[in-house]
Amino acid sequence: MRFEREGDGYIMRAEGSCDGKHVEEQPQKFTLDGTERPVPGAPGVTAKSMQPDANTIHAEARMGDRVVGEGRYVVSADGETLTATVRGVDGQQRQFQTTVVWDRK
């Protein structure tokens, strides 16, 4: 996972493997002004992103009045670790939460 600075926010790119195959997720744009915007490819879903401090990005996705996803991405003070905590509702309407920690190479 990597974040690339772009104008008024960041582009998040993630890749890895699933069942032995290389997988690359659709890049996500985080515009850090707290304004709700439509989510491409997710009809009826809007998202907003904020940067509450220099090392944290918080994003929230909503469908109407309901929060359907939330992510918090925190870079350690030394810039060597990224902790991503993501929770929400999957395609079968099941709730999930996951925390992943990456160390910089």
Give residue-wise pLDDT tens across range 89-102.
887 888 999 999 99
Domain housing 41: 32-103
Residue 18 forms part of a structural domain: no
Q: What is the pLDDT of residue 52?
A: 96
Check the CA dihedral 17-13-81-34 and report its sign: negative
pTM value? 0.84
- Helix/strand/coil for 40: coil
- DSSP bridge pairs for 95: 89
Contact indicator for 88, 95 with CB cutoff of 8 Å: yes
Q: What angle do CA 69, 15, 25 make, to 5 degrees?
A: 50
Residue 83 forms part of a structural domain: yes
Q: Where is pLDDT greater, at 40 or 80?
A: 80
Residue 65 forms part of a structural domain: yes
Residue 52 forms part of a structural domain: yes
Q: How many domains does the chain have?
A: 1
Tens-place pLDDT, residues 4-61:
999 889 998 888 777 788 877 778 899 999 999 999 888 999 999 999 999 999 999 9
How far is the CA of 40 from the CAs of 25, 28, 93, in angstroms? 13, 9, 19
